[in-house]
Amino acid sequence: MSKVMTMKEAISRFVHDGDFLFIGGYICRTPFAAIHEIIRQGKKDLTITRSNAADDFDMLIGAGVVKRFIATFLSLGVYGLGRCFRRSLEKGIPHKIEIEEYTNLSLPMMLMAGAMGMPFIPVKDMVGSDLLKVKSFLGDDKYKVIENPFDGTPTLVVPPLKPDVAIIHVQQADENGNAQVWGIEGDCKWGANAAEKVIVSCERIVSREVIGKDPSRTIVPDFQVVAVVEEPFGAHPGYTPGFYDVDFMFGSLYQQASNTEEGFRAFLDEWVFGVEDRTAYIQHYIEKFGYAQFRGLWADFDYGYPVSYAY
Amino acid sequence: MSATELEYIKPELMACCGAREIRDGDLVIVGTGFPTVAANIAKYTHAPNARMMQESGVYDAQPKRPALSVGDPCLNPGAAFIGSLVDVMGMFLQGGKVDVGFLSGSQVDKYGNINTTAIGDYHHPKSRLPGSGGANPIGLLVKRVLIIALHDKRRLAEKVDFITTPGYIDGPGARAKWGLPEDQGPEVIITNKAVLRFDKETKEAYLESYHPGNTVEEILEHTPWDLKVSPDVHETPPPTAEELRVIREIIDPMRMITIYLKRGYV
């Protein structure tokens, strides 16, 4: 049965107020079309997570849809600190989010533990740091120090994470949700497979036969997936290997806009509330910056190097 | 122009200081900016068998320009391996395979503890910073940590406001209490004025060399703790012609390193 639907339908059916969301991406394959739709639909009280968050998480926080953030890091990369993130934590604008802090080792391990149904997972980071002194909404369940049952040494263990919904953007998927990626993965595979339901946003829908041409690329199998959305340029201003590059111009635009609360509101009005869907967003982009700028983001075409699974 | 009179900018000298800490065959985990430039200088000069990885899941990337983030598109084509955070941070780093890690921070103290979380009170921060990211596990789990910092009384501190990434914590023996190997940890703090190296006994950073144009007095004045000066203190050797050639012709022909001038690395 096909799970293909619009982003509007996927977000409205599967993302509910108060849900715990894993949102994949690492500048590479950020599911921005879904981020914008969540903001447009005015979802509330979400808990969000992923390692190394960037402009998309900053935007969700600024838009006021986030209550809690299981975090390791948030910045705008070359554009500096996340302005909305700072306003929330420093000044309570639009409200102060609750933040539980881990690292780019422990958090992906917690997602892996969630995906694998482990009761907890030992990690070798965080010891000796003040990350152990600050506890937020997870309280004493942020971590425990136990005795290693094998050699008696003190061992830090952290809990598994099991998000209600994972949203990832991939290069291609079939209509049942077998989702394939190539390039930098971040914590996408573990985050997606840890979740109860997965929404797959993709550059193109391909047949099941095409998936089978290179099955090693599949990071999420169809039985985990509840919705497949074909959303070309769905990761813009992030990039998708083989499809388009990072849009540095737009990154700078977001930085400038989000410098002030008013600028950020105006940005949302123009790029999120002012467009109905991703198609309208791209249309608006082309009208504003010209087709040449848009075309300039496209990746060079390369047939690549075919793999063979013949025997 | 003789080799001693070569013109260079401070960020180039700092990158060379980082490169000189890398040994042939080292596995190096890098972020962006200085670390990538430094590691590449080493690779193209004295350490041809050094290999780099990024926490995002990339090993032995072959970028055609300096990466602007650890998720940069230029890291993908040509890499030897692309996996996930669990692969690089879990398998390679936590597995104990990585020799060198580069870190920087808004605040660094005399024991090499680094703050990238918050300036001021954590719960009511004066300035909220990005957080750990990969820094904490890199600082705890690589064999040698190289720290890059601006040299002033705001960036260097007697004690950081928040220990995001432990160095030697509060001195000798502190890492062992947490089950961490005593012979691992911060090696140097490379600043825009000096190279500070960590004393093996006291675990405190001391002045090893001052950069050309900077003086010991000036450095002491801009360091907020009672900085010990090595009896062998000397001028930092300037970049060689070969190091500069590698930076300008191979690694960074677009001169992206100059952005560090605007960030105060002068």
DSSP assignment string, A101-146? E--TTHHHHHHHHHHHT-S-EE-S-STTSGGGT---TTGGGG-EEE
Q: How far is B211 from chain A (nearest CA, A)?
A: 27
In our burial notation (b when 16+ CB lie closer than 10 A, e otherwise), range B156-177 reads bbeebbbbbbbbbbbebebbee
Distance separating alpha carbons of residues B222 and B150, to the nearest angstrom: 10
Arithmetic mean of pLDDT, A118-140? 98
* Number of domains into which chain A is organized: 1
pLDDT digits (tens, 9 = 90+) for A35-47: 999 999 999 999 9
Look up the CATH number of the domain holding residue A215. Answer: 3.40.1080.10
Decide if A309 is inside a domain. no
What percent of chain A is modeled with pLDDT above 90? 95
Inter-residue contact A9 to A37 (CB < 8 Å): no
* β-bridge partners, B196: B189, B207
Q: Which CATH architecture has domain B3-262?
A: 3-Layer(aba) Sandwich (3.40)
Decide if A279 is inside a domain. yes
* Tens place of pLDDT per residue across chain B (266 aa): 444 568 999 999 999 999 999 999 999 999 877 888 999 999 999 999 999 999 999 999 998 888 888 889 999 999 999 999 999 999 999 999 999 999 988 899 999 999 999 999 999 999 999 999 999 999 999 999 999 999 999 999 999 999 999 999 999 999 999 888 888 999 999 999 999 999 999 999 999 999 999 999 999 999 999 999 999 999 999 999 999 999 999 999 999 899 999 989 99
Decide if A308 is inside a domain. no
pLDDT digits (tens, 9 = 90+) for A51-70: 999 999 999 999 999 999 99
Window 176-215 of B: residues touching A by CB (8 A cutoff) are 177-180
- CB count in 10 Å sphere of residue B234: 10
Decide if A304 is inside a domain. no
ipTM: 0.96
pLDDT score for A236:
97
- Given a cut of 60, whether residue A213 has pLDDT beyond it is yes
pLDDT digits (tens, 9 = 90+) for A253-297: 999 999 999 999 999 999 999 999 999 999 999 999 999 999 999
Q: Residue ranges per domain, chain B? A: 3-262
- CB count in 10 Å sphere of residue A144: 12
pLDDT score for B2:
46
* Minimal Cβ distance to A108: which of B89, B127, B164: B89
Residue A239 sits in which domain range? 1-299
Say if the Cβ atoms of B84 and A246 lie within 8 Å. no
* Minimal Cβ distance to B68: which of A26, A77, A112: A77
Decide if A117 is inside a domain. yes
- Given a cut of 70, whether residue A229 has pLDDT beyond it is yes
Whether B55 is a known active-site residue: answer: yes
Decide if A310 is inside a domain. no
pLDDT digits (tens, 9 = 90+) for A76-98: 988 999 999 999 999 999 999 99
pLDDT digits (tens, 9 = 90+) for B8-18: 999 999 999 99
